[in-house]
A and B are shown apart, each in its own frame.
Chain A
Amino acid sequence: MLLKDNQTKASFVQGNTACAQAALDAGVRFFAGYPITPSSEIAEILSRKLPMLGGKFIQMEDEIASMGAILGASLTGKKVLTSTSGPGFSLKQELIGFASLCEIPCVIVNVQRGGPSTGLPTSPAQGDVMQSRWGTHGDHPIIVLSPSTVKETYDLTVRAFNLTESLRVPVILLSDEITGHIHEKIEFPDKNKLKLLSRPKAVKNPGKKYLPFAVSKPEEVPRVANFGEGFRFNVTGLLHNDDGFPMNLPEKNEFLLTRLHKKITSRIRELCTFVSIYLNDSETIIFSYGSTSRSCFQAAKIARSKGSKVGAISIKTLWPFPDFLIQELASCVKRVVVCEMNMGQIVHEVQRASDGRFKIEKVNSISGSMITPGEILDKIL
């Protein structure tokens, strides 16, 4: 069920529906995709809803084409979305790199299922954490958000659009089969009250050559124009000058790649969000993201009820990884238990950021089933 305009009543929907609704509320006007479980509901909903708003939907011949189509549409100024799962996410990688380098706003939803290959359709997993960071070749900037609940799926989808539009960095919403398919009560916000961000506008300076990728400070977001508005500029997947044309000069190559990364590294604290409980006096912290956080918070509550000093953190931004969060944990923390539905991916980041300050333990599941609070309690109590 999707909302009528200006309706804010509580609904009982699945995460994928909340994602589609949030995209619409955030102003998405173009979607291209290729069917794959457990993400197809997003495409199905948008194929019905987008045309009602004058938006466009197309089912392309594969995920590579879907990715290309949304980037083409984004270059004309539209807010764009694609959604997929494991195998399709692999196919999207090449053009995710194109979006990173050419600074083309786009949101990519990956509702994770078990892998590798065709893997486990359709059981949950969190095996694409590293792929979401490093899936495309080359040193590229990327932002990855991961929701644990239906409500968070809504909020983070809106945030994904705001981040990709304002920073011109591709944003991946890394959901999973549980968060995508679970039905929960959600109070949809009034879409007219959402704070929406848009791209920095290009300005014509009569008599001056338009430089689409020029910035005055390295962390600034360039004012790239939209196609069809008379700026007549070039976009290329080759390393390019601020005029958008290919170049290969060592110092300029380095400047471009550094600049792309500074858009993120200069904004780490505003980009990285998380939720936590019992952080003040905890000796053990259960660390997680995505649907696994549901069990982790439950486990922390049960442990507390038994008198153990246990807290929990669920990060909502996986990439950039919030090093500061680990570094600033109180001195009473003795160990961090990282729970993930994979063989251990984000745990390496926690380990690195902790710099040996506390013990790191892991709870993992690769069976296609969720980690239960009991499994976590067995480990920590």
Chain B
Amino acid sequence: MLEQIKKYLRIDKFPHIWCYGCGDGIILQAFVRAIASLGLSQDEVVVVSGIGCSSRAVGYLDFDTLHTAHGRALPFATGIKMAKPELTVTIVAGDGDIFAIGGNHFIHAARRNIDITVVLFNNATYGMTGGQYSPTTRQDDIATTAPYGHIERPFDICGLAKAAGATFVARSSSYHAMALPKLISQGISHHGFSLVEVITGCHVCYGKLNDLSDPVKVLEWQRDHVVNIKQYEALSSKDKEDKMPMGILHQVTRPEYIDEYRKVLERAKT
């Protein structure tokens, strides 16, 4: 398996820039395993990102890769997908990147149901800029810009994606490394807009302010809070409060944007 996934990596670009113990590497690995399991050729996949620690993943992936501006992966990806629909277009993004500055692009891409898969590295903070609060920072946690405790409610990312029109919504975590590739490959195979939210951590910036500076503790936190959807359903509503369901949370079939645009092309011909 290792040899099989190695070909999808730009080995000469290692060592990577991430801190030791960061979950981003686990998600990168899961991403290439997903691509390998689908048997996709390197030449038919494009990986687009914005700006952040997570977005640097594209540099290690041996496809056509595009490291855009902060929050702008989806508009670029939309242009690529429309211009060359035969390409498999994927995005790796941070929670700040695609839900704060890029949030508007996200809801509109989901609404269009364009066949793009977003793998969200949700570490609940701005890692690259040093641990400021993001749209997914938990209430009462400490951030470098919330020294008295964070007063905002975090987004329910999966709920938001579903409400905006995404037709595949799934969640996992970097702790659940073995289950993650399957979920990502299901997202990529799904015909329509897919979001795979991966709960991960930033022990260096966020962790040190919130008693999670040990990367093992970060993973344990994920183990304890991200639970299988069946187990989750069985919980009392009080127990559900600090847990997140894991697995495919939403999958429906709806007209996909590129397919609909093909109809426009047909109509314009006549």
- Chain A residues packing against B (C-beta within 8 Å): 29-30, 32, 48, 51-52, 54, 56, 58, 60-62, 64-78, 80, 94-95, 98, 227-238, 245-246
Contacts and interface: CB of A to CB of B under 8 A. Distances in A.
Given A65-B108, A98-B69, A235-B66, A60 B78 contact: yes
B72 A30 contact: no
B63 A73 contact: no
B75 to A, nearest CB: 3
A71 B87 contact: no
Given A228-B86, A235-B67, A32 B58 contact: no
Interface stretch (B203-211, B245-253, B260-268): B260-268
Interface string B99-137: 000001100100000000000000000000000000000
Contacts of A69: 75-76, 78-79, 82
Given A51-B268, A237-B69, A56 B83 contact: yes
Contact of A61 (B43, B104, B265): B104
Interface of B: 13, 42-44, 46, 48, 51, 58-59, 62-69, 72, 74-84, 86-87, 104-105, 108, 261, 264-265, 267-269
A359 B105 CA distance: 51
A68 B87 CA distance: 18
Nearest to B79: A72
Q: Which of B42, B86, B105 lies at the interface centre, i.e. has the most chain A CB atoms within 10 A of its CB?
A: B105
Nearest to B71: A64
A64 B71 CA distance: 10
13 contacts: A48-B268, A65-B108, A68-B105, A69-B76, A69-B82, A70-B79, A72-B77, A72-B81, A72-B83, A76-B83, A228-B84, A235-B67, A245-B13
Q: Which of A75, A80, A238, A246 lies at the interface centre, i.e. has the most chain B CB atoms within 10 A of its CB?
A: A75
A71 B75 CA distance: 9
Q: Which of A52, A58, A68, A245 lies at the interface centre, i.e. has the most chain B CB atoms within 10 A of its CB?
A: A68
Contacts of B81: 72
A232 B43 contact: yes
Contacts of B76: 68-69, 71-72, 75
Contacts of A228: 43-44, 46, 64, 84, 86-87
A77 B83 CA distance: 9
A238 B43 CA distance: 24
Q: Name B's interface SS.
A: helix
B46 A227 contact: yes
A71 B58 contact: no
Contacts of B104: 61-62, 65
Contact of B43 (A62, A70, A230): A230
B66 A72 contact: yes
Contacts of A94: 69
Nearest 5 pairs between A and B by C-beta?
A72-B79, A68-B75, A51-B268, A72-B76, A69-B79
A55 to B, nearest CB: 9
Contact of B67 (A74, A227, A238): A238
B69 A66 contact: no
A76 B264 contact: no
A64 B64 CA distance: 23
Given A60-B78, A69-B78, A228-B44, A245 B64 contact: no
A67 B268 CA distance: 25
Contacts of B69: 68, 94-95, 98, 237
A72 B265 contact: no
A279 to B, nearest CB: 45
A328 B47 CA distance: 51
Nearest to A61: B108
A62 to B, nearest CB: 7
Given A51-B268, A72-B66, A245-B59, A227 B82 contact: no
A68 B101 CA distance: 14
Contacts of B51: 237
A62 B78 CA distance: 13
B80 A54 contact: no
B67 A237 contact: yes
B79 A52 contact: no
A64 B72 contact: yes
Contacts of A236: 59, 66-67
B56 to A, nearest CB: 8
Contacts of A61: 104-105, 108
Contacts of B265: 51, 54
B264 A51 contact: yes
B84 A227 contact: yes
A52 B68 contact: no
A73 B82 contact: yes
A48 B267 CA distance: 10
A80 B83 CA distance: 10
Nearest to A97: B69
B43 A234 contact: no
A228 B75 CA distance: 18
A98 B72 CA distance: 11
A80 B76 CA distance: 13
Contacts of B65: 233-235
Contacts of B13: 245
B108 to A, nearest CB: 4
B87 A227 contact: yes
A116 B51 CA distance: 30
Nearest to B75: A68
A73 B68 contact: no
B268 A52 contact: yes
Contact of B78 (A48, A72, A231, A245): A72
Given A69-B76, A76-B80, A245-B13, A233 B64 contact: yes
Contacts of B46: 227-228
Given A60-B108, A68-B72, A228-B64, 8 more contacts: A65-B104, A69-B79, A227-B66, A227-B84, A236-B67, A245-B13, A246-B59, A246-B67
